[in-house]
Structure 1
Amino acid sequence: MIPVTDSLSIGEDEISITYIRAGGPGGQNVNKVSTAAQLRFDVRGSPSLTAPVKARLERIAGAKLTKDGIVIITANRFRTQEANRRDAIGRLVEMIAAAAHRPKFRVPTRPSLGEKKRRLESKVRRGATKQLRSRRPGTDD
């Protein structure tokens, strides 16, 4: 089990990791060894996640999500398979943890009548101040 939050974890059998060749530094070794990790996680088929978490995760995943509902994360920051594997799993866990956080429900409110009056009065006062500044001294209307 891979812990995501205190109350949520996903099974290791729910993710599949394959290794592919990575570009970047490493000399001739880059052409011989497959060190980049490609992680696949089926969001829609996961028994560990609830429906709201799945919906938020699909929104968060963005371009990493396929049409079939599979999140694909490619990790090639490091030179070893193990480090890239840990990096890919860590990025998936961060994504699921962000989706598991339920956003706070916002109750829409309206400004009170007093607030509206105070706002308009301050605008009138400010306009009067600017009007006084625009007049030239010694000229009366």
Structure 2
Amino acid sequence: MEDVQIAPGVSLPASALQERAIRSPGPGGQNVNKVATAVELRARLDALVGLDDGARLRLSAARDRRLLDDGTFLIQAHRHRTLERNRADARQRLIAFIQRFLVPPTLRVATRPTRASQRRRVEQKKARGQVKRLRQERPGGD
């Protein structure tokens, strides 16, 4: 097994990966019951090389059911019929998961509503209130 290149300067050593072939769930006839074509990939994310502190913090704070309590990331790949394609799929999903945390999220800049949008909002509220007033029954009417 070889190291997984996540991004330029960021990689996961092969020693931090554990791969196991398992039987694939779901339909498939006799072949699915006797051949282990699905892949279970476990990756120790604390072994990532070249990860800055911010990305490491975002990664540890991630809420994902595939992230186990001991810091191991677990992927089960069984989309494809062959072991090789499932192995490649599991690695691609691992890379995509880690890459999400490399770029810090952009912070929202608070802005004030424009005067025109405030005016439109008030006009809509007045129109809605007028509709409700017209629906009310008035004493002394029909």
TM-score of the superposed pair, with normalisation by structure 1 = 0.71
In 2: Cα distance, 1:26 partner to 1:126 partner = 59
Give 3-state SS (helix, strand or coil) of 2:50's partner: coil
1:9 and 2:10 aligned: yes
Task: Give the aligned partner of residue 85 of structure 1.
Answer: 87
Unaligned runs of 5+ in 1: none
In 1: Cα distance, 2:117 partner to 2:32 partner = 66
In 2: Cα distance, 1:44 partner to 1:23 partner = 30
In 1: Cα distance, 2:98 partner to 2:66 partner = 13
The structure with the largest helix share of the pair is 1
Q: Residues 12 and 48 of structure 2 are in contact (CA less than 8 Å); yes or no, is this contact kept in structure 1?
A: no
Shift of 1:100: 1.6
Shift of 1:30: 2.8
Percent same amino acid among aligned pairs?
36
Give 3-state SS (helix, strand or coil) of 2:98's partner: helix
Give 3-state SS (helix, strand or coil) of 2:40's partner: strand
Shift of 1:61: 5.5
Shift of 1:84: 0.7
Q: Residues 41 and 71 of structure 1 are in contact (CA less than 8 Å); yes or no, is this contact kept in structure 2?
A: yes
Give 3-state SS (helix, strand or coil) of 2:84's partner: helix
1:67 and 2:69 aligned: yes
Change (3 A) 1:27 1:128: closer
Unaligned runs of 5+ in 2: none
Q: 2:12 is matched by which residue type in structure 1?
A: G
Shift of 1:80: 1.5
Task: Give the aligned partner of residue 53 of structure 1.
Answer: 55
Task: Give the aligned partner of residue 103 of structure 1.
Answer: 105
Deviations 1:47-85 (A, max 9, x none): 332232233334446111111110000111222111110
Q: Which moved further from structure 2: 17-26 or 82-91?
A: 17-26
Q: Residues 57 and 95 of structure 1 are in contact (CA less than 8 Å); yes or no, is this contact kept in structure 2?
A: no
In 2: Cα distance, 1:83 partner to 1:41 partner = 18
Number of residue pairs aligned between Structure 1 and Structure 2: 135
- RMSD across aligned positions (CA): 3.2
Deviations 1:22-59 (A, max 9, x none): 23344333333222111111122323322322333344
